[in-house]
């Protein structure tokens, strides 16, 4: 799901809305049902879910529709348009289920569309003059929306797989060797810690703070991080006080997202839990819910019990708006971050 802090995009027609969806999600959807939510005339949220045939066997399509409607209603929206991507036999049941669920969640349905092979159909309009039975051909490039989105710095990747590729592993033998060296360095650090430093906790915190400060500074200056620097940072991040020190200094800035994405890609799989969770947090804070979701999917596949990843996964599932964290951590964590991990079976992506 995505909360959308996009600049105002002028949407005058169904074709304009269809052209805007890839920039709201960050990628071009396929075999999907998408809900675009509005508060007044402003788009505030977009969520994507799989079509029923692509859902896990234990997920009921009606339950999935109810969930996406409830998540959308939490965004302060008052209306929504549903768009299904794919053949009618698969799209229609999904769109119908969401059309029923949205009013039950307190949202007016502005329109319900199906998009297939360069044409769109409306489930609500029966006038052949504007909604012919053979569908309406559209050309996204004929709309001003893509140009406005690109000018504002928005990107629409070809598909969700391209988004997942941004967090795919890019390590190798050199990083494995650097991690081995980092482990020996950590053993030396703990061995030389004063006897009064229980379990070397103070030494670890000091080394972690220094590594975070140094690597962030180098990244901001455009200097590439060495394998040894990155491996040392990732190993220190397994110490929770170091991870939390980094978390407190991570928000939704572009630099945060770029930094933690690089660390996640290059880290050894055993060490991706913290950087992947921090990337997800930064992306979620920036309204890039789809990027946060793919980062968490990678973390939880390797580390299913990592608590921070589980907590952020829960926030995404429940559609908690990133604005709930405004002012954190100065005022302490908000209620949503204190609720702990609670999984549901389905998350719009």
**Final residue of a domain: which of 159, 193, 228?**
159
Q: Please give the pLDDT value at position 345.
A: 35
Same domain for 185 and 151: no
Residue 25, domain member (yes or no)? yes
Same domain for 141 and 271: no
Q: Which helix or strand (DSSP H or E) is residue 80 part of?
A: strand 79-85
45's tokens: 């949220």
Residue 152's CATH number: 3.40.140.10
Return the percentage of the chain with pLDDT > 90, whole number. Answer: 56
Q: How do beta strands 2-3 and 32-39 pair?
A: unpaired
Same domain for 266 and 141: no
CA 23 to chain centre: 13
Same domain for 248 and 120: no
Residue 97, domain member (yes or no)? yes
Average pLDDT of span 8-27: 84
Same domain for 7 and 53: yes
- Quote the pTM value: 0.80
Cα gap 131→120, rounded to integer Å: 9
Same domain for 184 and 136: no
Same domain for 295 and 194: yes
321's tokens: 């708006």
- pLDDT at residue 331 tops 80: no
Residues 346 and 97 sit within 8 Å (Cβ to Cβ): no
Residue found under tokens 């990732």: 234
Residues 96-116: tens digit of each pLDDT: 999 999 999 999 999 999 999
Cα gap 171→46, rounded to integer Å: 33
Same domain for 216 and 330: yes
Least confident stretch, 39-53, 227-241, 274-288: 39-53
Residue 244 is part of which domain span?
173-338
Residue 164, domain member (yes or no)? no
Confidence class for position 42, pLDDT limits 50, 70, 90 = confident
Residue (of 104, 103, 139) closest to 118 by Cα position? 139
Same domain for 85 and 209: no
Same domain for 236 and 112: no
How many domains does the chain fold into? 2
- pLDDT at residue 39 tops 90: no
Residue 277 CB contacts under 8 Å (≥ 6 apart), including other chains = 295, 296, 299, 306, 308, 309, 312
Least confident stretch, 139-148, 189-198, 291-300: 139-148
142's tokens: 């004929």
Cα gap 345→56, rounded to integer Å: 9
Q: What is the mean pLDDT of the chain?
A: 86
- The partner residues of 79 in beta bridges, in order of sequence, read 38, 108
Residue 343, domain member (yes or no)? no
Q: Please give the pLDDT value at position 344.
A: 37
Residue 167, domain member (yes or no)? no
**Final residue of a domain: which of 159, 188, 215?**
159
**Final residue of a domain: which of 126, 159, 192?**
159
Locate all alpha helices (DSSP H) within the chain, ordered by sequence: 14-25, 61-73, 88-104, 145-151, 160-165, 173-191, 201-220, 227-236, 240-248, 254-266, 273-285, 289-302, 307-317, 335-338
Same domain for 144 and 9: yes
18's tokens: 């269809």
Confidence class for position 8, pLDDT limits 50, 70, 90 = low
Residues 215-243: tens digit of each pLDDT: 999 999 999 999 999 999 999 999 999 99
């Amino acid at each position: 799901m995505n909360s959308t802090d996009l600049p105002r995009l002028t949407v005058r027609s169904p074709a304009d809305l269809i052209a805007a969806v890839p920039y709201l999600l960050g990628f071009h959807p396929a075999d999907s049902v998408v809900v675009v939510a509005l508060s007044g005339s402003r788009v505030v949220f977009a969520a994507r879910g799989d079509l029923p045939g692509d859902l896990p066997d234990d997920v009921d399509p009606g339950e999935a529709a109810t969930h996406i409607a409830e998540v959308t209603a939490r965004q302060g929206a008052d209306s929504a348009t549903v768009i299904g991507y794919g053949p009618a036999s698969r799209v229609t049941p999904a769109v119908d289920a969401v059309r029923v669920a949205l009013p039950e969640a307190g949202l007016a349905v502005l329109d319900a569309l199906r998009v297939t092979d360069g044409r769109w159909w409306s489930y609500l309009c029966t006038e052949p003059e504007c909604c012919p039975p053979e569908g309406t051909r559209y050309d996204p490039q004929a709309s001003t929306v893509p140009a406005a989105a690109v000018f504002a710095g928005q990107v629409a990747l070809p598909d969700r797989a391209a988004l997942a590729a941004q967090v795919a592993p890019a390590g190798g033998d050199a990083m494995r060797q650097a991690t081995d060296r980092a482990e020996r360095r950590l053993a030396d650090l703990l061995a030389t810690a004063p006897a009064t430093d229980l379990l070397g906790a103070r030494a670890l915190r000091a080394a972690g703070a220094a590594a975070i400060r140094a690597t962030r500074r180098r990244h901001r200056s455009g200097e590439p991080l060495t394998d040894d620097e990155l491996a040392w940072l990732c190993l220190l991040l397994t110490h929770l006080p170091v991870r939390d020190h980094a978390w407190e200094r991570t928000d939704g800035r572009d630099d945060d997202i770029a930094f933690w994405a690089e660390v996640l890609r290059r880290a050894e799989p055993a060490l991706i839990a913290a950087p992947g969770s921090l990337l997800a947090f930064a992306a979620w804070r920036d309204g890039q819910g789809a990027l946060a979701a793919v980062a968490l999917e990678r973390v939880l596949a390797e580390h299913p019990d990592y608590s921070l990843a589980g907590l952020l996964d829960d926030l995404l599932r429940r559609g908690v708006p990133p604005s709930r964290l405004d002012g954190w951590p100065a005022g302490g964590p908000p209620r949503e971050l204190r609720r702990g991990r609670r999984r549901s079976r389905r998350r719009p992506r």
